Amino acid sequence: MFEFWSKKYGEDAPISLLKSIMRRPGEFDRKFREHYGVSLNEAYNAYREYVCEKCNEFKEKAEAQVFEIEDREIGGNFFRSLRHLSPDERVWVSSRRYSTETYDLFYQKGSKKPVVLLKNVHPLLLVDEFNREIYIGRYTVNRNRQRSLGLYSVTPEGRNRCLVSAKGSFKPLGKQFGRIFYTSISSGITRIMSVDPEFKNSTRVEYTFPLSVHPLDLALSKSCRELFYTVETPDFKKRLVVVSIKDDDKNEKPIELYASAGDIGSLLFADDKIWFAGELDFYTRQLFSLDLEEFRLKKWTQLPGGVWDINFHNDQIELVTLNRGEFWKTSISKQETAYETMQVARPVESEVRELNPVRGEKYRSEFHTSYWKPLLSEDEEGYVFGIYSYRTDRLGRSNIVIAPQYGIESKNWGYMASLMQRFDQFKVTASIVDTVREKSYLDQDYFEGSRAKVVDIQYPLTLSTTVSVGMDLTERRIAKYPDTVTGPLPTIGKDHSFYGRINHRAIRTEPYYQVFPRRGRIVTAQYKRGNEVFDGEMNYDSMSLRWNEHFPVNRAWVLTARTFVAEDDKENNVRRPDDLSLGGSDFMRAFDSSYKDGDSLRAFALHLGRPIKLRLPRFMSWVYNEFMIAEAFWEFGDVKNQGRFKWRYDRGIELRSQLLLFKRIPIIVRVGYARQNGFDQDNTYIAVDSDVADFL
């Protein structure tokens, strides 16, 4: 669309528009008309008419070729690499068993039911009909949950063995001289390797691409002496290139055979021709062949869904095409085609760009990303207003948060500030806080003043697991006591502690996963020790474990199981504001906040939720509802000092939404209702801008 607008209204319009709206994003409509000469609606309608014209042209061309979908029982979803082991045996790769981009290798003999030979494979394979073996890349996961791609061989009986375990080994290209030729990508360099499947440690480098060349697709000739590949050049053209990988010819330069502004892929060498799927005049990839003697390009298909895989079988060319959003098999004859043949330019040497060494400089933090949002709270005398300002480094290696606050009635200043800096893989965060906030302890509302200095050091054990250690120096005071004191209040004084925490977060990333995770788990284990360091006055040990597991029931519904287990061991009757307690908006939501406390806590919950659509009233047009879910929950738990647990139960429903205030400020709102089981009591709650990632 932007390319069409650039050609129609001026090539400089997009850049000048972006520069203008960076300064005043609220004036987008006026700025668009100023730079393009038409309104946004007029420009969109012009593009829509252009697309309709092209679609009609596309439809007329597509109707010229009639095709039939074959073997429907093996197609659908993502399907490709159909190859034959014998006249009645075939293999292929498909994602039919998954809703995500995960593939299995299938095998079928005659009319028998297809069976899975190998799971979690790369979709490109090679068949050795003589030895009845299939060579394919397979993904494996090590103990640190890091995924790597290695080369495997599989027999029709399901026996598999690893031929090459080096990371980035995949796409077998051919077999010659008893060696399997395959692709290897390591440290940004692409190589053609070979391995003798009969011997260990027999890998050998056959050809190494220059640092500046990153091939998009590859194929070997029948003799495995000539390598065909496609590459994209700085002028955005795709170029088909051939190079000899024989030892005697390795000094020869690559030869360019063909260039196109469209895509070139699915390379295959057969019948002394190079076959490929290319975009030339049809907006989709069609089947072409290039005669390497006469250099004539022949077009073979005009399929509406394009060509995504090519295979020769008997006198047929088996193709994979796209139809109604899924991939299916179809076939055409190897006889002369009814489509055009054209002469292409004679081959020329392909120039390989040299990568000139770049002088590097030590990176310095560049704070180019920032946002702010208003804060509203209360202190002991009334409302407190503030501003939350967040600035982050371009690479996310450091950020600064400053949040000053001012009490209208109390005339007191408060603040929260933090600085995060990464050193290699270590993440160090230092923060200071001086605020007064309303809290609840044993169902008593009071205002606590706290001054805290916290240093946290985090290190990643794996991609999903981190370990943190830190020191928390907090001084607590009660700024305003409850109107009626009905029980003990928290101990005041210096609460100094050391802590350690392990956090494992393995959540499938997809839109709004922080509000509504659909698959995965979050596990947090923490130990905290309060002691007398720097004149600390509270001695205690606190241990806790939180485990949240998410299971997708289907495309809409998600089942979540939550567990919270904790133990405290305190000396001298210390009462901490974050003593183990239930109630409020976390666990046991039908009960008042901190309705019961103790030194031993057990709580469990089961949630069932799904996204819903809810249009906000017109008078709330300043709020944009990005995403909303409805979730039913069932909970039970208890907290005690001694004796046996006396379980309490409740159930309820919660609405959780991600909103944009004034279409710019992100907030998360939770509203819920819960009712106690066996008691005629209920509770409603609301939480704004809460950290849902930690809650879930």
The CATH class, in words, for 214-347 is: mainly beta
The pLDDT tens digits of the residues spanning 635-645 come to: 999 998 888 99
Residue corresponding to tokens 């010819």: 249
Give the strands of the sheet with 217-220, arranged side by side: 217-220, 226-232, 238-244, 255-260, 348-349
Q: What is the mean pLDDT of the chain?
A: 86
Segment holding 46, helix H or strand E: helix 40-62
Report the pLDDT value the prediction gives residue 694, as an integer from 0 to 100: 35
Tell me the average pLDDT across 86-94: 92
Instruction: State residue 695's pLDDT score.
Output: 31
* pLDDT(71) > 50: yes
Contact by Cβ (8 Å): 440, 413:
no
Q: Does the pLDDT of residue 696 top 60, yes or no?
A: no
pLDDT one-digit tens code per residue, 341-388: 888 888 888 877 776 667 777 878 877 767 777 777 777 778 888 888
Task: Name the fold adopted by 510-696.
Answer: Porin (2.40.160)
Res. 574: pLDDT tops 50: yes
pLDDT in tens, 402-429: 999 888 888 888 899 999 999 989 999 9
pLDDT by residue (tens digit) across 212-265?
899 999 999 999 999 999 999 888 889 999 999 887 766 778 999 999 988 999
Nearest to 215 by CA among 233, 237, 230: 230
Q: Is 100 exposed, middle or buried (0-12, 13-18, 19+ CB in 10 A)?
A: exposed
pLDDT of 651 strictly over 50: yes
Report the 10 Å Cβ neighbour count for 326. 14
Judge whether residue 55 has pLDDT over 90.
no
Region 326-340: mean pLDDT is 83
Give the mean pLDDT of 299-328.
Answer: 90
Q: Given the structure tokens 């879910």, which residue do they identify?
A: 629
Residue extents of the structural domains in the chain: 2-62, 67-208, 214-347, 368-490, 510-696
For residues 634 and 535, what is the distance between their CA atoms, to the nearest angstrom?
Answer: 44
**Amino acid 369: pLDDT:** 67
The confidence score (pLDDT) of residue 281 equals 66
CATH architecture assignment, domain 67-208? 6 Propeller (2.120)
Q: Which of 215-219, 291-295, 620-624 has the highest average model confidence (pLDDT)? A: 215-219
Rounded mean pLDDT, 83-101? 86
CA angle 329, 334, 338 (to 5 degrees): 95
Mean pLDDT of all residues in 498-510 = 92
Confidence band of 691 (pLDDT split at 50, 70, 90):
very low
Supply the pLDDT for residue 680.
75
- Express each pLDDT in 385-400 by its tens digit: 888 888 888 888 899 9
Q: Kindly indicate the confidence band of residue 565, based on its pLDDT and cuts at 50, 70 and 90.
A: very high
Q: At 287, which amino acid appears?
A: L
Report the interhelical angle of 13-23 vs 28-36 (nearest 10°). Answer: 150
Q: CB–CB of 478/489 below 8 Å?
A: yes
Task: Check: CB of residue 588 under 8 Å from CB of residue 635.
Answer: yes
Task: Work out the average pLDDT over 114-131.
Answer: 92
For residues 207 and 174, the answer to whether their CB atoms sit within 8 Å is no
Stronger pLDDT, 22 or 451, i.e. the higher one: 451
Encoded tokens for 437 = 């906030």
Angle at 423 between CA 421 and CA 425, to 5 degrees: 110
Residues 95-110 have a mean pLDDT of 85
Percent of the chain's residues with pLDDT above 70: 93
| Same fold: 67-208 with 214-347 | yes
